[in-house]
Amino acid sequence: MPVKVQRFIAILSVVLFIGKMVAWYLTHSVAILTDALESTVNVVTGFIGVYSVSLASKPRDHNHPYGHGKVEFISAAIEGSLIFIAGLFIVYEAVHQLLEPRPLHSLDIGIVITAIAGLINFFAGNYAIQKGKQFKSATIEASGRHTRVDAYSTFAILVGLALLKITNWVWLDSVVALIFAFIILITGYGILRKSVRGIMDEADERLLDEVIACIQKHRKPQWIDMHNMRVIQYGDVMHIDAHMTLPWYFQVAQAEIEIHALEDLIGKHFGNKIEIFIHVDACAPYSCKLCALLDCPVRQSPFVKQLLWNSENVWIDCKHGKDTADQSAKPLSGACS
């Protein structure tokens, strides 16, 4: 299904690009050329996106043990770069038109064609963003956001062309083009920046907080401690690594039950593919004051209170609670494993 969505966006971008180029040919408006050039980026990245989404949907194999989802960040990086280059070219054309004005023709027809293309882009962009979030696809979501920004710029360009037609101020064409060239440059930079974050495995704080909150809400008493957690999303697959402290007397089979329970919990909440790698740690005497398993047969000290997990204490590679019962403090280095 993600491939079909991206293929639809790619084919639609070709149709809209042809329409906008016809409008530019009829009018010689550099503002309409701005809109058309942004659509060339839609065409190129649309078909690159088809390839990347197809590749990202493949299951992991021997050469790609974490799957192929990261290719979507590369696709988004190419899209952001091309958008930025298109913005620079539009600046050049707008300045050239401002210095050497050329007469405009058939603005009525050009405005109608451009307006139709803008409306189609707006609805297609919203559709792609919705599907990109549904399928956890950075490529489809990036395509949708770019398509919707393209629609907004089209609507604003139409306002500029309408003013131009009313006032007959030809220089407005170049001014409108320059304004939206800078918007396009900002959009390209934003997409490029987001893709680089993905390529560099930059932490997704929002996703980490959501995972931790889910576990904390449904936490079992025997889940004494969680630390050294890392969460990353590649395509529609979420990868989670963590250390979990369980009662030391749990046998392997019992520990496995707890890990599967954790995996089912996260899978039900996020509704996508999950790969969890849990390193099991045995509790120590200093863990007793944090352990909510009140019927523990080997308890050595009374339960004080459970540590509330959050992004500040779960990502650190330290067991919690060795030196203090005041768990408002951060985990102590003395408890590191």
pLDDT in tens, 245-297: 999 999 999 999 999 999 899 888 887 677 889 999 999 998 999 999 988 99
Phi, psi of 271 (to 5 degrees): 65, 30
Query: How many domains is the chain partitioned into structurally?
Result: 2
What is the domain extent for residue 230? 205-335
- pLDDT recorded at residue 328: 39
Residues 163 and 222 grouped into a single domain: no
Q: Which of 167, 199, 231 is where one domain is finished?
A: 199
Report which of 43, 4, 45 is spatially closest to residue 20, judged by C-alpha positions.
Answer: 43
The distance of Cα 58 from the centroid of its chain, to the nearest Å, equals 19
**Per-residue pLDDT at 26 exceeds 80:** yes
- The per-residue pLDDT of the chain, averaged, comes to 79
Structure-token pair, residue 217: 């809400």
| Among candidate residues 183, 199, 215, the one where a domain is terminated | 199
| 166 shares its domain with 33 | yes
**Does 240 share its domain with 324?**
yes
DSSP code of residue 117: H
Rg of the chain over Cα atoms, rounded to whole angstroms, equals: 27
* pTM passes above 0.85: no
Same structural domain, 191 and 247: no
Closest CA to 211 of 135, 314, 291, 281: 314
Residue 35 in this model has a pLDDT that exceeds 70: yes
Same domain as 147, residue 255: no
Specify the CATH number for the domain of residue 330: 3.30.70.1350
8 A C-beta contact, residue 73 and residue 195:
yes
Contact status, residue 300 vs residue 288, Cβ threshold 8 Å? yes
For residues 9 and 44, membership in a common domain is answered with: yes
Residues 111 and 175 in one domain: yes
Residues 50-74, mean pLDDT to the nearest whole number: 67
For residue 210, is pLDDT > 70?
yes
> Are both 176 and 265 inside the same structural domain?
no
Q: Is 223 found in the same domain as 167?
A: no
- Last residue within a domain, chosen from 199, 226, 257: 199
| CB atoms closer than 10 angstroms to residue 297 | 7
Above 70 in pLDDT, residue 39?
A: yes
Give the three-class secondary structure for 107: helix
Looking at residues 237-241, what average pLDDT do you find? 84
Beta strands in the chain (DSSP E): 225-234, 237-246, 273-282
pLDDT at 336 over 60: no
Q: What is the pLDDT of residues 130-168, one digit of tens each?
A: 887 777 676 677 778 778 877 877 877 787 778 777 887
301 DSSP 8-state letter: S
Asked whether residue 195 falls in the same domain as residue 211, the answer is no
Residue type, 290: L
Q: Which of 126, 135, 153 is nearest to 9 (CA)?
A: 126
**Same domain, yes or no, for 101 and 194?**
yes
- 262 and 167 co-located in one domain: no
- Residue 89 sits in a domain whose CATH number is 1.20.1510.10
Cα gap 327→316, rounded to integer Å: 14
Share of the chain above pLDDT 90, in %: 20
Nearest to 44 by CA among 176, 188, 179: 188
